[in-house]
Amino acid sequence: MIIFTEQEKYSKKTKSCYFEFMYIATFHSHFAAMQAAENFKAAGLKATLRPVPRKVSSSCGTCLSFEEKEAVDQRALFGNEAEAVYLYDGKEATTVWKND
């Protein structure tokens, strides 16, 4: 039996698994990540709290993953304690923006 995560999809056409791109937001604290998740929910956007992938470092070890590209530019959703947002493809993480 194969168990897929939310980001892993199975293609009937190619009969193989593939990983969809997702955005990952990292935070200075776990509480800030939880607040951002609530902000996403209030805005009607789907987001999931999860452990930070090994390819991306974080202060608290918790990140928020989401797929909506339009959410990236709405910095108020992330709050003041957001570290950065990355585009993650399952192997590599590319920085979209960093909070200086």
What's the pLDDT at 89?
Answer: 85
Please give the structure tokens belonging to residue 98: 């960093």
Tens digit of pLDDT for each residue in 32-88? 999 999 999 999 999 999 999 888 876 788 999 999 999 998 999 999 999 999 998
Tens digit of pLDDT for each residue in 3-30? 444 445 555 666 655 556 889 999 999 9
Domains within the chain, CATH numbers bracketed? 18-98 (3.30.70)
pTM: 0.78
Query: CB-based contacts of 98: which residues, under 8 Å, 6+ apart?
Result: 83, 84
CA distance 88 to 100: 21
What's the pLDDT at 16?
Answer: 58
Query: CB-based contacts of 53: which residues, under 8 Å, 6+ apart?
Result: 24, 63, 88, 93
